[in-house]
Structure 1
Amino acid sequence: MREELSLRAYGKINLGLDVIRKRPDGYHEVKMVMQTVSLYDSLRLKKKEEPGIEVRTNLPFLPTGPDNLVYRAAELLLKEFGIGEGLFIDLYKKIPVAAGMAGGSSDAAAVLVGVNRLFKLRLSRIGLMERGVSLGADIPYCIMRGTALAEGIGEKLTKLPPMPDCAILLAKPPISVSTRFVYGNLRADSLPWHPDIDGMTEALAEGSLSGITARLGNVLETVTIPAHPQIQKIKDVMSENGAEAALMSGSGPTVFGIFKDKETAGRAGRKLRSAGLAKQIYTVRPFNVCRNGRR
């Protein structure tokens, strides 16, 4: 019987992010095109004889108790199924923290998948997604992964044709952005423009990278960029150095640029580093295929 397993938790970017309205319950109704990228965190899950959840990470500032989503994801399934054994989770993070890339949600999604597999709970992917949304709106998508349209508060998902292969440059400036602050200051009912999400889905269906880059858009930039102008500077450097287009992911502050080749993306990354605009810089690709259906 398997006593431990290893998983990868992949980050995401938003090719398009629109906010339709603020609902009476305080949540924002969104319409987004999500894309998994090849940057990932590594997790190792191991059964323990003694009850309880133990979390270890490579980042000393991360909480390791109930304030960490991976802890809460494990706790959710262990409690529901009355599992008496404990669980050790070793989390090695590469996805930037609090960066608009759903790193924490992806880690939690991986733990749900891992606990299901390790303890043979036999939950379907839909069953895991239904449980995951109670922990965070991005978690169902992080379980599904790939290219998807997300609606509602992000939990209503429609699989889309995969994004064409390309080089994607990720750059996170040395700042943190509060998602609560961004949504709290967004004027959802008086936005000056809305990204063409329907056109984006058509471009994906056509496999047109130029159609995708022509329609990149994120309404949360209207809040985050005025508060953190360096985000716009990163976008400008990417665009001036070969990016087909550049955009902030999620509520920020990570910026991604789409390039036709890895070499051009690498040169733009070196420009950003030498300008001191970002230290966490990665060149990645769209991630759409899960070999043999495994994580």
Structure 2
Amino acid sequence: MKLLRYGAPGAEKPGILDGDGKIRDLSGIVEDIDAAALSPEGLAKIAAADIGSLPVVDGDPRLGACVGKVGKMICVGLNYSDHAAESGMEVPPEPIIFMKATSAICGPNDDTVVPRGSKKLDYEVELGIVIGKKAKYVSEAEALDYVAGYCVVNDVSEREFQAERSGQWTKGKSCDTFGPTGPWMVTRDEIPNPQELGIWAKVNGEFRQNGNTNTMVYGPAFLVHYLSQFFTLEPGDVIPTGTPPGVGMGFKPEPKYLKAGDVVELGIDGLGAQRQTCVADS
């Protein structure tokens, strides 16, 4: 199933993409694509519905983030060996973990607001893991049983804020609109191997990232297992899992950072695509 949220910011409704690519309204089945809907019971309730009888959503509505009321967005850094190399950093002996403020989460095609003082705005296409069941101290062998599905995330980053302003990475990762998520969450049963997916990004039509999730250092099962050793993962939590090479800061001799007017497109095989226009902060 491809589950999504559509409508004005803050007033999104739950939806599902049918076999013809039409959005069907799920409001009569679930209140939102949130923790309750993403639980095994919630997903079973949606799966049992007669999708063809649900109302078709007319037009081309705005898509919100595909997961509502996200509790935690836990990001993984330097999780592709070739991206670590372009960043001039070693592959970490354990996953690098940082949090992205949930206020950064936005729709997949919403504008990216260039924050005041930004000099090094960047993009990162990432596979997002969506948790569907409370996970604490889970084994790697059982970890994917706790996953509801997968989605595309753009881990938008301001590199100066992130790396040159001292302290932690969070402030370079959490500006408003720095977390486009979606267009939809694809349930785990439709993605048998999340570590065999093409993953790409373009800026102004130029391919910048063109990789595969099979070059991850730490795969989804390990990451869910690993994170659950430190804190409880809750339904609706989202885990962006790192990015392949080709980000703006990796270009030599001159990095290719984003500016107002640039258009970023990105996607993952089977999970859909996003498109953002960079705009100056008012």
Q: Which TM-score band applies after superposition, normalised by the shorter structure?
A: under 0.3
Higher relative helix content: 1
Q: Which structure has the larger Rg over C-alpha atoms? A: 1
TM-score by length of 2: 0.27
TM-score by length of 1: 0.26
